[in-house]
Structure 1
């Protein structure tokens, strides 16, 4: 069960957020996540609350105000090969939404299966 957090500047429309969410979800489904397993949250921040280096690490073009951070929290066990596949497809889909690759920051985070409770306080993966 991935939990996706998308952080960016305020001002995106509901339609833009839906398209971003669809791009992310399609990318992780290719890695074996069930299509119905979708949990996403958008954090919209004022510029003074969203601080980042425009050129780290050695970007030539630099990040714009369109910069977005995508945090993907899922259970342990996905290989580097799978993560690269997700990244490749995600960057491609974000380009289709007119994002520069320099504006797409992705962080994979993993947690043990026993750390998930989908509902009712039940740990279903133990």
Structure 2
């Protein structure tokens, strides 16, 4: 169950956030995540609360106020090949929608299966 968190600077219109979230979800599904496994949130912060270096570490163009941090929290076990496929699909889709992909940073965070309680306090992946 991926939990996707999108962090952006205020203000961003709904269509901006929707375009990024939809692109992330399509890339996740293409990498093997079930289409109904949809858990997303958006953190929209003031510039004082969301700081970033415009060029670290090796960007082709400086980041702008449209910088997007995408965090994907999911269970352990995805290979580097799967992550690369997801990134390729995501960047292709965002570029096709007019996004500058140099403004998109993705961070994968992994946790054990037994750390997910999807509802009712049930640990369905724990013995």
Please give the TM-score of this superposition, normalised by the length of structure 2: 0.95
Answer with 67-76 or 7-16: which moved more: 7-16
In structure 1, how many angstroms separate the alpha carbons of the residues matched to 2:23 and 2:48?
27
Match of 1:111 in 2: 111
Consecutive unaligned residues in structure 1, runs of 5 or more: none
Deviation at 1:125, TM superposition (A): 1.0
Please give the TM-score of this superposition, normalised by the length of structure 1: 0.96
Match of 2:74 in 1: 74
5 Å-filtered alignment, 1:1-126, equals: 1-126=1-126
Deviation at 1:6, TM superposition (A): 0.2
Report how many aligned residue pairs link the two structures: 126
Question: Per-residue displacement from partner, 1:72-117 (whole Å, max 9, x unpaired)?
Answer: 0000000000000000001111112322121000000100000001
In structure 2, how many angstroms separate the alpha carbons of the residues matched to 1:48 and 1:59?
22
Question: Per-residue displacement from partner, 1:2-34 (whole Å, max 9, x unpaired)?
Answer: 000000011222232222111000001011100
Q: Does the residue aligned with 1:98 lie in a helix, a strand or coil?
A: coil
Consecutive unaligned residues in structure 2, runs of 5 or more: none
Aligned structure 1 segments of 4 or more residues deviating by more than 4 angstroms = none
Q: Does the residue aligned with 1:4 lie in a helix, a strand or coil?
A: strand
Q: Does the residue aligned with 2:105 lie in a helix, a strand or coil?
A: strand
In structure 2, how many angstroms separate the alpha carbons of the residues matched to 1:60 and 1:25?
26
